[in-house]
Amino acid sequence: MEYTIKNERLALTVSSLGGEPKRIISSSNTDYLYRGNKDYWPGSAPHLFPFIGRLFENKYTYNGIVYPLSIHGFLKDSEMSLETQTDNTLVFSLSANEATKACYPFQFKLKIGYLLEDNRVTIGYTVINEDEKVLPFAIGGHPGFIVPLEDNLIFEDYYLEFSCECSPKRAMPTTSNLLTGEYIDYPLTDGRILPLNHDLFDQDAIILGDVAPAVTLKSNKGKKAVKVEYDGFNFLGIWHTVKSDAPFVCIEPWTALQGYVDKVVDIENHDDIMLLAKDEVFTGEIVITII
């Protein structure tokens, strides 16, 4: 089911399936989120939990037992419950159940909240460990934004501008988009600018660490832009459909990265995995500002 909240600047529509945002539409009737289709990518802005990206052979181990887990985890395919709705907020929740325990043997509660203020959408994540044992997880977003945002512009007119100068490192992928363990410098123009072109994604996602805490999708030839803030997320994925002219770009804040080639991950010991003790709570947020 889909739920919509709105104010004078924006209308936000969110699906209970995965708690996924489906539309962000401005008062001028500009649609900012990509509406998935079979030609390029079926998603709009899925949330990623309890793992991000692919795993070698689509499996991991915990306490010596092998568990199956598909790309980006099960949240995107899980029906969430609407806990609260007001004029400017939505809160969805998902608790452990038989389906989740088949691939993730932990007792947890996950909440995804939305706050609509002026021209901003704040997405808040809350993960609660309701288990006796430590809860390992990763979480992140995968919002896809339409490019171009204005008539008479093209994809290559746009760029990503980081909020301050930074020196990112790129995690190098294999052809199956698993990690090799190699990181290389990924210089930005003037330390802040990443010009967009379709060829950027011929090797799949650009996955960066050591980035600034915010980035803006914009064009010098247009007035409309989108800013994404993600303080506290260690990595940023930038993606569109491989070797295509896809009319969108995904800006993806993540707490951890995917698995390694030829290695089945021990989830508790995976790089940058979050570890929550009993009753401990993780909170994080992503803020999308429509300019």
CATH number of residue 158's parent domain: 2.70.98.10
Average pLDDT over every residue of 90-115: 98
CB 33 within 8 A of CB 4: no
From residue 34, alpha-carbon distances to 1, 63, 147, 157, 248 in Å are 19, 40, 9, 18, 6
268-277 confidence digits (pLDDT tens):
999 999 999 9
**Mean pLDDT confidence for 39-65:** 96
Tokens 């994080």, located at residue: 284
- Count up the domains in the chain and report the number: 1
The reported pLDDT for the residue numbered 135 is: 98
Examine the pLDDT at 154 and tell me if it is beyond 90. yes
Residues 6+ away with beta carbon under 8 Å from 212: 162, 163, 164, 165, 166, 192
DSSP string, 158-215: EEEEESS----EEEEE-TTS-EEEEEEE---BTTTEEE--GGGGTTS-EEEES--SEE
The mean pLDDT of the chain is 96
The C-alpha atoms of residue 31 and residue 238 are separated, in whole angstroms, by 20
- At residue 231, the pLDDT reads 87
Which has the higher per-residue pLDDT, 125 or 179? 125
pLDDT score of 177: 83
- Asked if residue 174 has pLDDT above 90, the reply is no
Domain containing 147 equals: 2-290
pTM over 0.75: yes
Task: Report the distance separating Cα 99 and Cα 278, nearest Å.
Answer: 22
The answer to whether residue 175 scores a pLDDT higher than 80 is: no
What pLDDT is recorded for position 82? 98
Name the residue among 266, 274, 269 with its Cα closest to residue 55: 266
For 204-237, letters b (16+ CB in 10 Å) and e give: bbbbbbebbbbbbbbbeeeebbbbbbbeebbbbb
Mean pLDDT confidence for 170-177 = 86
Cα–Cα dist 275/287, whole Å: 24
According to DSSP, residue 74 is labeled S
Residue 195's region, left for phi above 0, alpha for psi from -120 to 50, else beta, is beta
Break the chain down into helix, strand, coil percent, rounded to 5.
10, 45, 45
**pLDDT of 173:** 85
Q: What angle do CA 144, 158, 253 make, to 5 degrees?
A: 35
73 has a pLDDT exceeding 80? yes
Q: Please report which confidence band the pLDDT of residue 176 belongs to, taking 50, 70 and 90 as the band edges.
A: confident
pLDDT band at 25 (very low <50, low <70, confident <90, very high): very high
Average pLDDT over residues 210-238: 96
Go through 72-108 and write b for each residue having 16 or more CB atoms within 10 A of its CB, e for each that does not. Answer: bbbbbebebeeeeeeeeebbbbbebeeebeebbebbb
